[in-house]
A and B are shown apart, each in its own frame.
Chain A
Amino acid sequence: MGGSPVTSETTTERVDRSRGAELRTLAILWAVFTILGVVFALIVPHHLMGPSASNTMTEVERTFTAFSVASAPVAAVVWALMVYSLLRWRRRGAWQEGDPDGPALRGHALTSGVWISLSSALCLFLLVWGLAALSSVDSAAASSASPLEIDVTGQQWVWTFSYPTQGVESDQLVLPIDRPVVFKVTSYDVIHSFWVPEMGIKVDANPGVTTSTSTRPDRLGTYHVRCAELCGLLHADMETNARVVSSDDFATWVAGQGGHA
């Protein structure tokens, strides 16, 4: 608009009308992107992460989906403006000396204010959600009277699981279903990271200290224990199985290993 002031009223009306249409198109674009984003958020992450095998993983998947849904309208604002500006505000041909410039808009206090307020509100929502999820994840096993305790030791490049109460040691992780379990994790040599992807738990195995994580397996099946911290030559091979079994099968397994329930 620079340099050509609008004088006639009909032009003003036309400009208003076209600006109304502009905002409408943008709103529609935004809505379409938001809907696409929400549909994606509801289906894809859950599908990729697979069925959850513990209460922790259920919480992880719930949080992932909630964050994805919440961020869909934000990403949609950016995408809608990108697409619209490319389609409608694009100059045909190269810039020439003397071409009129765009409008001399040096900021819009209301827009900036709303933008900052909304992003702060979203940030607050994420924080509150995160703290709530964190405390629910942390309290799962802590609240239980008799969690199963397992000492996990990483060493280059195997995992050892020892059940002190049962007097059993194994290179396979076997867990009774629906019983809270606390892992006390340490390492003989370098840093490893104890990860059961299907259960949403991970904590580093550090030499010289013990870290802990806990969960409650709630689905029968065979899952994976992987190392998530580069630990040397055979890091990629440092994995084993995690089996979730019924409490009867667990007792049988313990007895078979020479332990006592």
Chain B
Amino acid sequence: MTTADIYKTDPLPVEPHGGIMGRLNLATGVIAGVVLAVVGNQLAHRLGDDHPHEPDARAVFTMLGWAVGFLLGMGAFTGPFRWLAGRDLTHGDELFLAGKGQGVGRYFRFTTDHKVVGIQYLVLVMVMLGAGGSMAMLIRTDLISPNSGFLGPQTYNSLVGLHGLTMILATIIMVTGPFGNFVVPLMIGARDMAFPRLNALSLWLLVAMLPILYSAAFLGGIPMGWVGYTPIADQGPTGVDAYMMAILVFAVSTAVAGMNITTTIVTMRARGMTWTRTPIFVYGVLASVVLALPAFPMFMAAELLLLVDRVMGGGFYVANRGGQPWLYQNLFWLMGHPEVYVILIPAVAALMELTAVFARKPLYSFRLAVLSIVAIVGLSVTVWAHHMFASGWAPDLNGPFMLTTEMISIPTGGLFLVILGTLWRGRIWTTFPMMCTYAMLWNFIIGGITGIYLSDVPLDYQLHGSMFVTAHFHYTLMGAGLTGAMGALGYWFPKMTGRMLASTPAFVSFWLVQIGFNVTFLGMFMVGLEGQPRRVVHYDTAFHSGNLISSLGAYCIGIGMLILLYDVISSWRHGDLAPMNPWGAKTLEWTVPNPIPLENFSVLPVVTEDAYGYGEEPAPEPEPEPVPASASASAAGDPAGADGTAGAPA
């Protein structure tokens, strides 16, 4: 890659000037949120009077008030308001919004710089994973013996649902949030996202969502698991309203983020970064958000109908009012299965990216990788009813859905081949991120094969709703997905924080987590095959040994995760300073200095070849003054030339 002296940055010598935005931050957001929540609550109370749905209406209006107030108080809508008032933001205002010249305070503001948003996402994801993980520890503690009595059935059922929902929401954003925001613009040679204010909005919507979600625990809990099946959700306490509102807010955030990331990747890649020169991680993120764009509105629709049921006395899902529970299940799984690939594809793509770097080899068959991702995206919207084989809905469709589901194993196998082919005769540097690739391969082959059992209709009749299913999807979402995200964290940590992630605690954590993980979920496969249903607070003594194994393994994961958390915090605060390109990678994010300047690239790069030219052609002398025209004409390019002008380690 080479650079061109065009698009010089920041032509106007303007000082950042935020006006009222200088006084808006997290604290004003919380205050405004609480005020509007009280207003919403009282409004619904006055209007609702003694109507039977009054408690639900009050809950919904309170949460809506909180979300809107919080975002107003954060200053999320200052730009549109100023524009409506005919005083659109000036260049100085935009610089203030981007966080120019502010210290740590910019992380607590409505800051638009994609690097700030990426870090905010990372912290948010870690908080959510911590919350979900703690709930998992409570669940496993309850299940350590057949009748432990550690948790009551109501608490247990709510915890199962909140653990599931927390983890699903966290894993959906865990790669596209932190790394999609921080790394992708750098990787494609852009100065920011296409819509920086929407970017910040997507993040703060999630922050607004968290109190709504966890208020469910104090509003009677959610009795129906994270899937929110109806009609049990119709009869649930006001905690279910919190569940609905959390999902509605999350779906808006996903739509905003997905549109923003898609636009950024499609329109803002550097000059010369054709689709064949675009790194595979960018494809992974794009596939994930493009898939999420049609998927989440389904979930949103499902919850809106539930809202009508609960707040206005509709009967979409209530059989004796002409409703149909299968409607909910169809809408839910139209989101629910694509969502699995929303989680997996970017995680696996991140591992592909770093496998090429650590094996010092070109990615094996870039075209197969892209084709596999596209095929998975396409097929994943055609398989949803395999979650409903045992529901009794449309038995005649079981055969076709079995076909589409099993077909997904072909492109998934393609992803395996790409990674294995990249490892083939490589010079493998077994760093922590690279070991995550190995762990992913191990876990994902188990998760994938057990998925094939479940795609088989007669086998699914037996295994559906059992612990076998729980073990299976943890192998895919956690064993492959979360492991991929941890690899991505280790890989991009030096660029995101400017410091190296200390390697020894990372490896200790790695082995504890991976061994603990396999112990936990092999134990769960065991009790699933023996016949233990999911989501039970106590169980038959026949399942004791498998559950004990699972619980011990889970503690092992918990300790390992705490060690990783310690490693991240301590390395972030006083780890070794990272060189500009510690791994010797060839993608563009490693060509910017640490700490990364606000505009990322003082001179926008021009791309002349893809980022996987390892072992190709001995390096020619770097050209002192690369000319854009001739550089883009010579497709073969000169990798070391780019290193010489822009990419050499500091």
Is A36's CB within 8 Å of the partner chain B?
no
20 cross-chain CB contacts under 8 A: A3-B618, A48-B530, A75-B445, A91-B427, A99-B427, A103-B361, A105-B424, A112-B417, A115-B414, A130-B402, A190-B232, A200-B458, A204-B390, A208-B324, A211-B392, A228-B390, A228-B534, A230-B232, A232-B232, A235-B536
Is A67's CB within 8 Å of the partner chain B?
yes
A52 to B534, alpha carbons, bound, how many Å?
Answer: 21
Give the interface segment out of A144-152, A158-166, A191-199. Answer: A191-199
Contact A206 B459 (CB under 8 A): no
Contact B533 A228 (CB under 8 A): yes
A48 to B462, alpha carbons, bound, how many Å?
Answer: 13
Known: A3-B618, A106-B366. A230 touches B360 (CB 8 A): no
A56 to B457, alpha carbons, bound, how many Å?
Answer: 12
- In the complex formed, the residue of A with least CB distance to B465 is A228
Give the interface segment out of A6-14, A120-128, A174-182, A251-259. Answer: A120-128
**B:389-431 near A, CB below 8 Å:** 390-392, 398-399, 402-403, 406-407, 409-410, 413-414, 416-417, 420-421, 423-430
Is A45's CB within 8 Å of the partner chain B?
yes
- In the complex formed, the residue of A with least CB distance to B359 is A102
Contact-residue size bin, chain B (C-beta under 8 Å from the other chain): 35 or more
Contact A49 B529 (CB under 8 A): yes
How many pairs of A and B residues are in contact by the CB < 8 Å rule? 279
Residues of B within 8 A of A21 (CB): none
A102 to B357, alpha carbons, bound, how many Å?
Answer: 10
Other-chain residue from A103, A115, A231 in contact with B615 (beta carbon distance below 8 A) = A103
**A:89-106 near B, CB below 8 Å:** 89-91, 94-95, 97, 99-106
Is B531's CB within 8 Å of the partner chain A?
yes
Residues of B within 8 A of A1 (CB): 615
- In the complex formed, the residue of B with least CB distance to A132 is B458
Residues of B within 8 A of A75 (CB): 445-446, 449
Residues of B within 8 A of A198 (CB): 531
- In the complex formed, the residue of B with least CB distance to A89 is B428
CB distance from B352 to the nearest CB of A (A): 13
Residues of B within 8 A of A224 (CB): 531, 540
Is B506's CB within 8 Å of the partner chain A?
no
- In the complex formed, the residue of B with least CB distance to A210 is B392
**A:52-110 near B, CB below 8 Å:** 56-57, 59-60, 63-64, 67-68, 71, 74-75, 77-79, 81-82, 85-86, 89-91, 94-95, 97, 99-108
Contact B231 A191 (CB under 8 A): yes
Other-chain residue from A91, A116, A206 in contact with B414 (beta carbon distance below 8 A) = A116
Contact A82 B231 (CB under 8 A): no
Contact A63 B459 (CB under 8 A): yes
Q: Which of B231, B539, B613 has the most chain A CB atoms closer than 10 A to its own CB?
A: B231
Residues of B within 8 A of A208 (CB): 319-320, 324-325
Is B441's CB within 8 Å of the partner chain A?
yes
Residues of A within 8 A of B445 (CB): 74-75, 78-79
A112 to B367, alpha carbons, bound, how many Å?
Answer: 11
Contact A191 B614 (CB under 8 A): no
CB distance from A210 to the nearest CB of B (A): 8
Is B461's CB within 8 Å of the partner chain A?
yes
Residues of A within 8 A of B406 (CB): 123, 126-127, 130
Contact A86 B428 (CB under 8 A): yes
Is A229's CB within 8 Å of the partner chain B?
yes
**B:27-86 near A, CB below 8 Å:** none
A231 to B62, alpha carbons, bound, how many Å?
Answer: 28
Residues of B within 8 A of A243 (CB): none
| Supplied contacts A102-B425, A197-B466, 4 more A-B pairs, CB within 8 Å | A85-B428, A106-B612, A112-B368, A185-B392
Contact A116 B413 (CB under 8 A): yes
Known: A103-B361, A107-B367, A236-B153. A229 touches B325 (CB 8 A): no
Q: Which of A3, A64, A71, A236 has the most chain B CB atoms closer than 10 A to its own CB?
A: A236
Residues of B within 8 A of A191 (CB): 229, 231-232, 325
Residues of A within 8 A of B407 (CB): 123
CB distance from A149 to the nearest CB of B (A): 17
Residues of A within 8 A of B616 (CB): 2, 104
Is A43's CB within 8 Å of the partner chain B?
no
Other-chain residue from A50, A203, A227 in contact with B392 (beta carbon distance below 8 A) = A203
Residues of A within 8 A of B363 (CB): 106
Contact B462 A202 (CB under 8 A): yes
Residues of A within 8 A of B464 (CB): 193, 202, 228
A206 to B231, alpha carbons, bound, how many Å?
Answer: 9
A111 to B413, alpha carbons, bound, how many Å?
Answer: 13
Is B203's CB within 8 Å of the partner chain A?
no
Contact A193 B232 (CB under 8 A): no
CB distance from A96 to the nearest CB of B (A): 9
Contact with A along B519-554 (1 / 0, CB 8 A): 000000010011101111111100000000000000
Of all A-B residue pairs in the complex, the 8 with the closest CB atoms, nearest first, are A208-B319, A211-B392, A2-B615, A197-B531, A228-B465, A107-B365, A101-B615, A236-B536
Residues of B within 8 A of A212 (CB): 392
A131 to B558, alpha carbons, bound, how many Å?
Answer: 42
A67 to B463, alpha carbons, bound, how many Å?
Answer: 14
CB distance from A73 to the nearest CB of B (A): 11
A244 to B286, alpha carbons, bound, how many Å?
Answer: 55
Is B596's CB within 8 Å of the partner chain A?
no
Is B268's CB within 8 Å of the partner chain A?
no
Residues of A within 8 A of B153 (CB): 233-236
Contact A95 B325 (CB under 8 A): no
Contact B537 A236 (CB under 8 A): yes
Contact A230 B535 (CB under 8 A): yes
Other-chain residue from B417, B531, B613 in contact with A226 (beta carbon distance below 8 A) = B531
Contact B438 A115 (CB under 8 A): no
Residues of B within 8 A of A137 (CB): 458, 461
Residues of A within 8 A of B409 (CB): 119, 122-123
Is B4's CB within 8 Å of the partner chain A?
no
CB distance from B525 to the nearest CB of A (A): 8
A129 to B399, alpha carbons, bound, how many Å?
Answer: 12
Is A201's CB within 8 Å of the partner chain B?
yes
